[in-house]
Amino acid sequence: MNIVPSIMATKKSGPKTLRSTVTKIYLLTASALEESNITHSEHIPEWIIGRIGEEKEVSILGSEGPIIFKVIEEVKAEEQHYNLIADSSYSLAREALGSLVGQITKERSKKVEVNFYGLDQEMITGAIVGLELALYRFKEELSFGAISFFNDGKKVTKSIVDSALSIAQSINTARHLVNLPANILNPVTYANAVKKYFAKSTTMKVTVYDEKKLAKENCGLILSVGQASATPPRIVHLKYRPTGAKGKPTAIVGKGITFDCGGLNVKSGAGMGVMKKDMGGSATVMGFATWLEKSGVKKKVDLYLALAENSINELASRPGDIYTSRNGLKVEIGNTDAEGRLALADAMDIAITQKEKPEVLIDFATLTGAAKVSMGDFVTSMFANDDELADKLLKASQKNGDLSWRMPLYRPYYKGFKSNFADMNNMSKVKGGSIGAALFLEKFIGDTKWAHFDIFGWTSGFRPSLAQEGGSGQGVETLIGYFQN
């Protein structure tokens, strides 16, 4: 199973599928339109230039093929919300070029030239990322020719193109994993594929905790989640240690419920429909791992995938059952559909008790429907126990157009997890589901600085760059931005 999609912006289709035309894209800022003389092989009448300024997107037919002009909106700092949920120059450029992919592929030209005017390196990177994201398809081949990039008439350097492709392909990896069906991607095949992918890596070492090792480690919670499945749970540890890395490691944990039927508290048919995406947090972590391995980042990072399938048979956990976590807390099952927090809890405890104790722990999980209700599809609910860590992550999410908003860890709500028979219940009786889930996880982090992202992980149609229905790769750009700083 190939877990990384083979989509490349420089991909070429067979000659029979392409037309002998050249599609030329001009992506420019409004100021560049006013101040610069656009170099072009053909004369562009003044009235066309005027239309570009008024309409923001104009298509004309040149002697070699179609010519498309697209003006990027100027970045506007917002006084409200500390500018943390405003568009960035990177995200505006990403969506601007991403929105043109439909026209590019429709033309099926043998060559595509993308010309940037007035864009800085960050915007050029964003634009190429948007192009690559919008080209991704799960099942079909897109027909387009060789693509080249020019900035103010000069060819964009290979390092900039490669950097952008690395970002986009890591996001597409996360999307592709979410899009894989649960009969192909289960805890066992997932763990094996990750191990195979990094088998020859010099910076990433993979360790798999199978059901025997999980039992030996007393990981009673994740074992309880997967005990009704034909494919037993796994925790996958990816240890990134490049030459020259110093300091304490950062731990990143992803929820990987490869399918969630709800267990004995079975979901409705509609609620179960896209539950192959319940491993979206692990997909975020895995997508980021593919970028990290090639990034050259000189930091120690430990990544964990908490993998299980929440299924039903005579061995399924029941409401009222009590299981012991790796850190010794006894948890009563109030609802078998609150399983993601159980899988995460044992993985988080493994993360914080390693010989090299992490300074920071970050987790990503498609954890609650309440987060989607409060924030919608496009903005992630983020919780943190440290203000400095929260600020860094929020700024990274805004800069990279992967928006998050900090939610409160209102600890009085933890009383909702009271159990008469165990240390805690896995289901709170207090409203505020996303807050409650975060408070549950907080019991398994010790004194570590921690941030929790309750993601949706699925496309909403809001972003032109995410043309393929399915996984969105939410969270990958936030992590990349955080580690680039």
Among the residue ranges 108-112, 164-168, 438-442, the one predicted with the least confidence is 108-112
At residue 230, the pLDDT reads 97
Please report which confidence band the pLDDT of residue 315 belongs to, taking 50, 70 and 90 as the band edges. Answer: very high
The per-residue DSSP string of 235-274 comes to: EEEEEE--TT-EEEEEEEEEEEEEEE--TTSPPPHHHHTT
Q: Would residue 248 show up in a list of annotated catalytic residues for this protein?
A: no
So what's the pLDDT on residue 143? Answer: 67
CA nearest neighbour of 28 among 106, 127, 98: 127
Active-site residue, 94 included: no
Q: What is the pLDDT of residues 151-166, one digit of tens each?
A: 998 999 999 999 999 9
Res 6 pLDDT > 60: no
Residue 205, helix vs strand vs coil: strand
Domains (range + CATH), the chain: 15-156 (3.40.220.10), 178-484 (3.40.630.10)
- Global confidence as pTM: 0.94
Give the pLDDT band (50/70/90) at residue 41: low
| Averaged pLDDT score across all residues of the chain | 92
Q: Could you tell me how far CA 4 lies from the centroid of its own chain?
A: 14
pLDDT at 70: 93
Confidence tier at 375 by pLDDT (50, 70, 90): very high
Calculate mean pLDDT across residues 452-463: 92
In this model, does residue 1 exceed pLDDT 80?
Answer: no
The residue from 267, 299, 330, 418 that is catalytic is 267
The per-residue pLDDT for range 295-311, each reduced to its tens digit, is 999 999 999 999 999 99
In the block, tokens 């420089």 appear at: 10
Q: CA 344 to CA 254: how far, in whole Å?
A: 7
What tens digit of pLDDT does each residue of 341-371 get? Answer: 999 999 999 999 999 999 999 999 999 999 9
- Residue 179's φ and ψ, nearest 5 degrees, are -75, -20
Question: What's the token pair of residue 362?
Answer: 């970050």
Quick one: pLDDT at residue 11?
46
Q: Could you report the per-residue pLDDT of 42-100, keeping only the tens digit for each? A: 566 777 777 876 778 888 888 788 999 999 987 877 778 888 999 999 999 999 999 99
Catalytic residue among 239, 341, 443, 463: 341
